[in-house]
């Protein structure tokens, strides 16, 4: 793989443009907490909705979809597609209510719904548990995916001529250090511009990320002779193309084929009931739980009005479940053909970028991965900070 000057130019322009957007909105963000954390409640639906999609499009997302497809085919995506039930419930029943509540975070809703010391404790507990602990876990796995991407794309990466640095007995690889520097860059621009700048930057980053994903899918499928070539190459694994999981009466939650460790996703009746009847409302995940929550609720509360809140959430669910995954799924199928012996199936998505994309598009795709990473980290940072400031600092540390 050779990264040309054109590729580097695209990557550098991307970073400059992202920082310029944040700098432009920095003056508006500092007026008060509502302006910083909710953009003054003035986001149009297409910005708020696209920001939702960009936040859930992290560097690890196409890698995770690639792993699902390699193991259980297209049907494997129903392990997360089932969450669309909660998402659509949010659209038509809760999006307007979040905007109408006139609060800063979803944790603050606890003080509206309940009262007394138990309500205050629950609000503070959610601020610590979700805003700090859960947020740290999400940021960690996104960073881990970015390290994996850099290791595939730049296996000989060094910093100050060293492949790794040892500090206090802890080894830090050059890849991890560069990801840390990137996270620091994101922290700077997100702290400057607040949610308005983050949302505008998210929208720009989402367009870049989707353009890169579609380009990769096109070149990957073209490389093996188009859709017909893809079908012929996977003729011995036709289960990969099955859209619906195989429903079994056996009382095992999730099964694979009898012939190997891979095969079309098989669900027992118990598992089917769990996913369709329980999982979508009993789990916590912003945008999937009924009523939204987290950074999805933050975008709904930042919309211009209730109508914009509804349309933003509708656009998010359409893009998140129906549009965004298909370029990844096509690329994942090609990766199965080109790298059948790979043990890390998620990394094969990055191998396609390394091996198939020409100069220019390679830089675009690398910038797209940086965009996916940065949009998620920026949103997690602003969202987590809103919990700490609004639901921990104000009520408990400096009330009034």
pLDDT tens figures, 139-163: 998 999 999 999 998 998 888 888 8
Give the pTM: 0.88
Q: Residue 268: what pLDDT?
A: 75
Q: Which residues of the chain are modeled with pLDDT < 70?
A: 1, 28-31, 248-262, 279-280, 287-290, 400
Q: Residue 290: what pLDDT?
A: 66
CATH of the domain at 306: 1.20.1730.10
Q: Residue 315: what pLDDT?
A: 97
Q: Residue 303: what pLDDT?
A: 95
Determine the structural domain holding residue 180 and report its residue range: 5-397
pLDDT tens figures, 258-270: 444 567 777 777 7
Q: Residue 398: what pLDDT?
A: 79
Q: Residue 256: what pLDDT?
A: 47
Torsion angle in degrees (nearest 10) through CA of 392, 395, 396, 398:
100
Structure tokens at 342: 């790979």
| Count of the separate structural domains present in the chain | 1
Q: What is the 3-state secondary structure (H, E, C) of the chain?
A: CCCCHHHHHHHHHHHHHHHHHHHHHHHHHCCCHHHHHHHHHCECHHHHHHHHHHHCCCCCHHHHHHHHHHHHCHHHHHHHHCCHHHHHHHHHHHHHHHHHHCCCCCCCHHHHHCCHHHHHHHHHHHHHHHHHHHHHHHHHHHHHHHHHHHHHHCCCCCECCECEEEECCEEEEHHHHHHHHHHHHHHHHHHHHHHHHHHHHHHHHHHHHHHHHHHHHHHHHHHCCHHHHHHHHCHHHHHHHCCCCEEECCCCCEECCCCCCCCCCEEEHHHHHHHHHHHHHHCCCCCCCCCCCHHHHHHHHHECCHHHHHHHHHHHHHHHHHHCHHHHHHHHHHHHHHCCCCCCHHHHHHHHHHHHCCCCHHHHHHHHHHHHHHHHHHHHHHHHHHHHHHHHHHHHHCCC
Q: Residue 273: what pLDDT?
A: 77
């Amino acid at each position: 793989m050779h990264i040309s000057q054109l590729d580097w130019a695209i990557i550098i322009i991307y970073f400059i443009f992202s920082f310029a957007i944040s700098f432009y909105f920095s003056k508006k963000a500092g007026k008060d907490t509502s302006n910083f954390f909710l953009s003054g409640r003035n986001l149009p639906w297409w910005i708020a909705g696209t920001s939702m999609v960009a936040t859930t499009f992290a560097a690890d997302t196409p890698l995770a979809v690639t792993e699902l497809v390699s193991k259980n085919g297209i049907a494997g995506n129903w392990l997360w597609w089932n969450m669309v039930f909660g998402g659509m419930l949010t659209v038509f029943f809760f999006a307007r209510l979040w905007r109408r509540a006139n609060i800063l975070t979803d944790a603050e809703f606890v003080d509206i719904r309940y009262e007394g010391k138990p309500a205050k404790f629950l609000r503070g507990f959610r601020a610590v548990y979700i805003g700090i602990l859960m947020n740290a876990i999400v940021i960690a796995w996104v960073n881990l995916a970015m390290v994996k991407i850099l290791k595939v794309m730049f296996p000989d990466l060094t910093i100050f001529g060293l492949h790794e640095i040892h500090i206090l007995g802890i080894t830090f690889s050059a890849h991890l250090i560069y990801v840390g520097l990137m996270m620091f860059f994101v922290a700077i621009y997100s702290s400057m511009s607040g949610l308005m700048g983050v949302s505008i930057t998210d929208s720009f980053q989402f367009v870049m990320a989707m353009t890169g994903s579609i380009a990769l899918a096109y070149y990957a499928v073209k490389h093996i002779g188009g859709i017909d070539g893809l079908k012929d190459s996977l003729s011995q694994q036709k289960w990969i193309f099955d859209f619906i999981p195989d429903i079994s009466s056996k009382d095992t939650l999730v099964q694979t084929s009898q012939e190997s460790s891979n095969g079309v996703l098989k669900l027992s009746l118990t598992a089917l009931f769990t996913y369709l009847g329980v999982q979508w409302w009993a789990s916590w995940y912003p945008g999937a739980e009924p009523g939204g929550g987290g950074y999805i609720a933050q975008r709904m509360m930042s919309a211009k009005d209730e109508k914009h809140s509804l349309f933003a959430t509708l656009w998010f669910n359409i893009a998140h479940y129906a549009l965004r995954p298909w370029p990844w799924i096509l690329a994942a199928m090609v990766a199965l053909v080109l790298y059948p012996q790979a043990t890390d199936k998620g990394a094969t998505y990055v191998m396609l970028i390394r091996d198939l994309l020409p100069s220019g598009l390679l830089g675009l795709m690398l910038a797209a991965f940086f965009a996916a990473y940065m949009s998620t980290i920026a949103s997690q940072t602003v969202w987590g900070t809103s919990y700490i400031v609004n639901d921990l600092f104000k009520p408990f540390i400096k009330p009034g």
